C-alpha cells in the first residue's frame, strides 16, 4: 500500500471515530498527506536552467584536461559537428592537439599521417585506409573534422585494432588466436568490472537469437576494442607529453567511463573529461561530465545509382547483382550482370572506387556509366549509359 493510501485510510478512521471535521481542517489534512507522499522517495532529477551555458564556456572548462572524450551516435551529423567544434575551440585557445579516432585501424596509421601531412589526396587516403570496407558510415560525416586536421596539421591517431583480429576473436575467442595474433593485442585486459560485464550482457541479449552464440567471445571483442584503443591512446600520450588528445568514438565506448576512459586511466593517470549528446538520454552525472543539446542537422542527400553489387571476384570492374526499387541505373538501361568499368572520369576497380566516384553526387545529377556486358554468343559489349541519380 502506498504512503498516500495509508494516509487516506487513517483519515477515514478519524472521521468515523470523531465525527465530521470542518471543511478547512479536511482540506488541510488532505494537502499534508498528498505533500508527504509526493516528496518522500521522489526520484525526479532537476536540471537548473540557469546553469546552462554555450560552447565557449565548455571550451574554457576543457582547457585544463589532458584527454577529452567526445562521444557520438555514428550517423548523427550534429554529433560530428560538435566534435569539430570542440577541436576548433581548443585549437583557438592555443592547445597543442591530437585527435584519436575509432574509425581508423592501427595498421593504417602511416596512411592517415600521409593524408594529414598533405602527401596524398582524399581519394588515395580513403583507398589506402580501406575506409569503405572497414567502417562504411557516410564519410561526409567525418570529412569536416579530417579536413580541419589536415589544414592545421593536427595529428590524427588511428586507435582501433584491425577488424581481422576482432572478427576472429568473435568466432574463436582470444584463446583461438595464433601467437603472432596474440602479439598484436593488449597484454593487459581487465575482465573484472561487473558493471561493464552487466551492461554488455544487456546489449548481447538484444541481438537476434541466431547471433547469440557465445557471450564470452562477444565480451572478448568489446574488451579488445576498448583496451586496444586505450592502450594506443595511452602510448601516444606518453610519447607526446605536450599534446592534448581529443578522442572521438561511439558513446558506448566512453559513457560512465567504463570503456576506453577507465582503461586509459589505468595506463596514464591524466585529467580527462567525457562529453556526450544529452538529447537522447536522461541526464546522469555518472555518465558524463558534460552533456550537449544540439539541434538535429541532416547531411544533404547523396545521389544514388540504385544498384546492388556483387563481392569482388577478381574480374575487371564491379558486377551489378540487382537494383533498388527506384533505380536510375535500371531506368537508364543497365542490366544485372553488367560490370561497371567507369563512372564519369573515375575508373572502377573496387567498391571503394564506386563510393569515391559518388561521394559528392546529388539527386537529379546525370552521370555517365560505362559497363561491359557479357553475351552468350559473340563478343562482350562495351556500353555507356547516362544515369539520372535518384
Query: Which band of pLDDT confidence, cut at 50, 70 and 90, is reported for residue 17?
Result: very low
Domains of the chain: 3-39 (no CATH), 53-292 (3.40.50.11550), 307-388 (2.30.42.10)
pLDDT at site 348: 96
Per-residue cell: 239: 610519447
The share of the chain scoring above pLDDT 90, in percent, equals 71
pLDDT(16) > 50: no
pLDDT(206) > 80: no
Instruction: Tell me what the mean pLDDT of segment 83-110 comes to.
Output: 98
pLDDT at site 363: 97
Separation between Cα atoms, residue 376 and residue 58, nearest integer Å:
66
- The pLDDT tens digits of the residues spanning 174-184 come to 889 999 999 99
- The pLDDT tens digits of the residues spanning 136-165 come to 899 999 999 999 999 999 999 999 999 999
| Beta carbons within 8 Å of 318's beta carbon, 6+ residues apart | 309, 310, 312, 339, 340, 348, 350, 351, 353, 354
pLDDT at site 204: 85
- The pLDDT tens digits of the residues spanning 271-301 come to 999 999 999 888 889 999 999 999 999 999 9
Amino acid at each position: 500500500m502506498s504512503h498516500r493510501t495509508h494516509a487516506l485510510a487513517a483519515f477515514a478512521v478519524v472521521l468515523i471515530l470523531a465525527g465530521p471535521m470542518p471543511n478547512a481542517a479536511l482540506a488541510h489534512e488532505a494537502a499534508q498527506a498528498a505533500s508527504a507522499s509526493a516528496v518522500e522517495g521522489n526520484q525526479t532529477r532537476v536540471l537548473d536552467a540557469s546553469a546552462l551555458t554555450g560552447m565557449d564556456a565548455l571550451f574554457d572548462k576543457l582547457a585544463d584536461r589532458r584527454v577529452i572524450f567526445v562521444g557520438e551516435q555514428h550517423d548523427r551529423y550534429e554529433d560530428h559537428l560538435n566534435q569539430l567544434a570542440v577541436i576548433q575551440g581548443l585549437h583557438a585557445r592555443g592547445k597543442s592537439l591530437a585527435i584519436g579516432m575509432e574509425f581508423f585501424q592501427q595498421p593504417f596509421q602511416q596512411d592517415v599521417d600521409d593524408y594529414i601531412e598533405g602527401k596524398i589526396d582524399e581519394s588515395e587516403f580513403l583507398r589506402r585506409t580501406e575506409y569503405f570496407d572497414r567502417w562504411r558510415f557516410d564519410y561526409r560525416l567525418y570529412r569536416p573534422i579530417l579536413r580541419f586536421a589536415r589544414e592545421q596539421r593536427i595529428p590524427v591517431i588511428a586507435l582501433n585494432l584491425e577488424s581481422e583480429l576482432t572478427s576472429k576473436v568473435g568466432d574463436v575467442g582470444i584463446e583461438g588466436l595464433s601467437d603472432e595474433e596474440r602479439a598484436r593485442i593488449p597484454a593487459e585486459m581487465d575482465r573484472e568490472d561487473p558493471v561493464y560485464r552487466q551492461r554488455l550482457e544487456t546489449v548481447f541479449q538484444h541481438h537476434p537469437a541466431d547471433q547469440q552464440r557465445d557471450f564470452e567471445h562477444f565480451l572478448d571483442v568489446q574488451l579488445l576494442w576498448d583496451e586496444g584503443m586505450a592502450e594506443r591512446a595511452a602510448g601516444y600520450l606518453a610519447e607526446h607529453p605536450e599534446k592534448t588528445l581529443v578522442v572521438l568514438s561511439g558513446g558506448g565506448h566512453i559513457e560512465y567511463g567504463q570503456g576506453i576512459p577507465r582503461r586509459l586511466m589505468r595506463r596514464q593517470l591524466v585529467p580527462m573529461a567525457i562529453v556526450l549528446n544529452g538529447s537522447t538520454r536522461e541526464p546522469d552525472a555518472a555518465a558524463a561530465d558534460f552533456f550537449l543539446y544540439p539541434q538535429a542537422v541532416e547531411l544533404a542527400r547523396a545521389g544514388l545509382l540504385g544498384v546492388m553489387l556483387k563481392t569482388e571476384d577478381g574480374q575487371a570492374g564491379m558486377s551489378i547483382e540487382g537494383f533498388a526499387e527506384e533505380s536510375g541505373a535500371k531506368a537508364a538501361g543497365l542490366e544485372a550482370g553488367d560490370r561497371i568499368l567507369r563512372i564519369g572520369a573515375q575508373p572502377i576497380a573496387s567498391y571503394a572506387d564506386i563510393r569515391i566516384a559518388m561521394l559528392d553526387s546529388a539527386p537529379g545529377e546525370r552521370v555517365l556509366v560505362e559497363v561491359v556486358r557479357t553475351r552468350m554468343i559473340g563478343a562482350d559489349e562495351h556500353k555507356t549509359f547516362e544515369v539520372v541519380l535518384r
